Amino acid sequence: MPSGHSPPVVVLGAGWAGLTAALTLARAGHRVHLIEAAKTAGGRARSLSLDGTELDNGQHVLVGACRETLAQMRALGVDTDTGFHALPFGLRMFAPGQADEQPAFHLEPRSPRLPALAAALYRALSQTDLRDRLRALLGAAAMLHRPLRDDLPVQDWLLARHQPPALIHALWDPLCLAVMNTPTRHASARIFQHVLRLALNHGPQAARLLIPARPLGALFPEPALQELRARGARIDLGRRVTALEQRPDDPVAPFRIHSRASDPLPARGLILATTPAAAARLLPASGPWLPTKQALQAMGARSICTVYLRYPTPPGEIGPLQGLLDQHGQWLIPRHLADAPHWLAVVISAADDQQPLTAQARWRTVARSLAATFPQLGTPEAGHTVCERRATVDARPGLDCQRPSPHTPWRGCILAGDYLTRALPSTLEAAVQSGLESAHLFLEDHP
Ligand SMILES: Cc1cc2nc3c(=O)[nH]c(=O)nc-3n(C[C@H](O)[C@H](O)[C@H](O)COP(=O)(O)OP(=O)(O)OC[C@H]3O[C@@H](n4cnc5c(N)ncnc54)[C@H](O)[C@@H]3O)c2cc1C
C-alpha cells in the first residue's frame, strides 16, 4: 500500500470504465486522481439537461445479465430494484399506420426458457408455412445451443439457421441493432450469440430488460464521485489531458500527465480509460507502441442518435419499451419511468446508416412517423436530437481478435474501456468489466 504522500495513480476518463477503475483502486487504499475532459462524469452514459429537465445523452437499456454493472451500483448504495423498471424478456414491434394499434410482430414468451421461447416463436411465425416454421424453430434453438467457433456476419448465420426473411426483419434485425449497434449484415455473430446466451441461458433474472427509472447520473457516476471524494481522491472535471510522458528514471513517479491547465502532474500509475480514438491520440507511435496504436486506430465506430420529444400533456397508454418497425428509429421509451412524464425518447441505432438530417429535421421526422403509429400521441411541443458520433465500436466479425491488450509497453500504464472486453459489444457491462480488470492488473503489480 502506498504512503499518503506518494504521487497518485491517475485515472484518465470518468466514463463508467474509469469510474469503476478509480473506485477499485481507491477502495484498495491507493491515492487516486481522476481526470476528465468533460464538465460532468459518465462519458457516453451521462445525464444532461434539456429545457430544464434531466435526461440522458442517450437512452440506455440493460439486461439482468449485466452482473458487474449492477453489482457496482449496489456497492455504492444504489437500489437497483427501484433504480430500474424491470420487464420480462419480450418484444412488441409496431409498424406505422396499423389501424388496430396492435403490434405488427410480438414475441412474448412466458419465460425465457427454451420451451417457452420455442412456443412463443412458433406463435409469432403463424403466417409461415409449417415446414419453414419448424426449420426456423430448430435453427433458433441451435443458435443458442453451442458457442460458434468461427465468426461470420449475423445475417449469414441467420440464413444458415433457416430464419425466414420476415423473422429477420421483425425480430433479428432490431435485436441485433439494439445489442450491437451494428446491422446484421456487418455484425459479429459470435458476439451477438454470446450476448443472447448470457441473457437467455441463465433464467428469468438474467433475461429481464432493465430500463433506468432515474437519470443515468444518479445510477452510477454521481454516487461514484461521492465515494471517491469521501475516500480522498482528487477529481478534476473539465481538464483535457493533451499528452502523456514516461520518465523511466523516476521510480516513484514514472509518468507525467500534461494538460493546458497546469504544470505536468506526476503519477505512480496510469489507467487510460478513454475512447480508443482518444487513447490513440495520446499514446506514442514509436517502436513497441506500434501494435497497440494500430489496434486502437483500427477500432471502427458507430453512432447513435436519441430523439427526445416533449408533449404538452403526459402521453398515456404507451408501454415502457416499444419496438418501431420501418421507421426513423427502432425503440420508443416513455421517460415518465425516469421522472420526466412529458418526454418520450426514440433511439436511432447505427444512425450513420440513415440519411443525414439536421437535428431539427430528425426530431420532426421521428415525431411524424410516431404520430402515424401512435395517433393518440398528437404533436410534440418541442424536440431535441442528441447524436453521439462514436457511441460504440463497430462490432464486426473478427473484432475479438483485433482488440488491443490492456497491457501497454509502459509498465504501470494500463488501458481500460468498453472496447477492450472480449465477447461483448460496447456496453456499460463491457466498460465496467474492463474498469475492474485494469484496476486488478495494476494491483497485481502494486499491491
Ligand atoms: C447514445 C448511446 C446509447 C447507448 N445505449 C446503451 C445501452 O442501451 N446499453 C448499454 O449497456 N450501453 C449503451 N451504450 C454504450 C455505453 O454507453 C458505453 O459502452 C459506455 O458508456 C462506455 O464507457 P467507457 O468508460 O468505456 O467510455 P466513455 O464513456 O467514452 O469514457 C471515456 C471518457 O474519457 C474522457 N476523455 C477522453 N479523452 C480525454 C482526455 N484527453 N482528457 C481527459 N478525459 C478524456 C471522455 O470525455 C469520456 O468521459 C450507449 C452509448 C451511447 C452513446
Q: How far is 427 from 72, CA to CA, in rounded Å?
A: 15
- Cα 210 to ligand 1 centre (Å): 19
Mapped onto helix, strand or coil, the DSSP state of residue 11 is strand
Half-sphere exposure of 117 (CA within 13 A, CB side): 22
| Burial class of residue 40, CB neighbours in 10 A (0-12, 13-18, 19+) | middle
- Does domain 50-85+210-216+302-392 bear CATH number 1.10.3470? no
Residue 356 is classified by DSSP as P
389 lines ligand 1 (CB under 6 A): no
- Cα 391 to ligand 1 centre (Å): 7
Ligand 1, atom 19, lies closest to the CA of 427
Residues 6 or more apart in contact with residue 121 via CB below 8 angstroms: 107, 136, 137, 140
- Cα 327 to ligand 1 centre (Å): 26
391 lines ligand 1 (CB under 6 A): yes
Q: List beta partners, residue 304.
A: 388
- Cα 424 to ligand 1 centre (Å): 15
Are the C-beta atoms of 66 and 219 separated by less than 8 Å?
A: no
Atom of ligand 1 nearest to the CA of 428: 11
Half-sphere exposure of 27 (CA within 13 A, CB side): 15
Atom of ligand 1 nearest to the CA of 391: 53
What per-residue confidence (pLDDT) applies to 317?
75
Q: How far is 84 from 102, CA to CA, in rounded Å?
A: 26
- Cα 443 to ligand 1 centre (Å): 24
What per-residue confidence (pLDDT) applies to 220?
98
Are the C-beta atoms of 58 and 422 separated by less than 8 Å?
A: no
Angle ∠(168,332,67) on CA atoms, nearest 5: 80
Residues 6 or more apart in contact with residue 444 via CB below 8 angstroms: none
- Cα 138 to ligand 1 centre (Å): 38
431 lines ligand 1 (CB under 6 A): yes
Are the C-beta atoms of 438 and 13 separated by less than 8 Å?
A: no
User: What is the number of residues in the chain?
Assistant: 447
Ligand 1, atom 10, lies closest to the CA of 427
Q: List beta partners, residue 49.
A: 54
Atom of ligand 1 nearest to the CA of 306: 1
Q: How far is 198 from 88, CA to CA, in rounded Å?
A: 15
Q: How far is 168 from 158, CA to CA, in rounded Å?
A: 8
- Alpha-carbon Rg for the chain, nearest whole angstrom, is 23
What per-residue confidence (pLDDT) applies to 330?
94
Residue with cell 433458433: 140
45 lines ligand 1 (CB under 6 A): yes
- Cα 41 to ligand 1 centre (Å): 10
Question: Widest CA span of the chain, in angstroms?
Answer: 74
Atom of ligand 1 nearest to the CA of 388: 53
- pTM for the whole structure: 0.96
What per-residue confidence (pLDDT) applies to 3?
46
What one-letter code names the amino acid at 292?
A: T
Return the CATH architecture of domain 9-42+220-299+395-445: 3-Layer(bba) Sandwich (3.50)
Are the C-beta atoms of 88 and 211 separated by less than 8 Å?
A: no
Across the chain, which has 447 residues, the per-10-residue mean pLDDT values are: 74 98 98 98 96 95 97 98 95 81 88 90 90 94 92 98 95 96 97 96 92 96 98 97 95 95 93 97 90 93 96 85 93 89 93 86 93 88 95 97 95 97 98 98 91
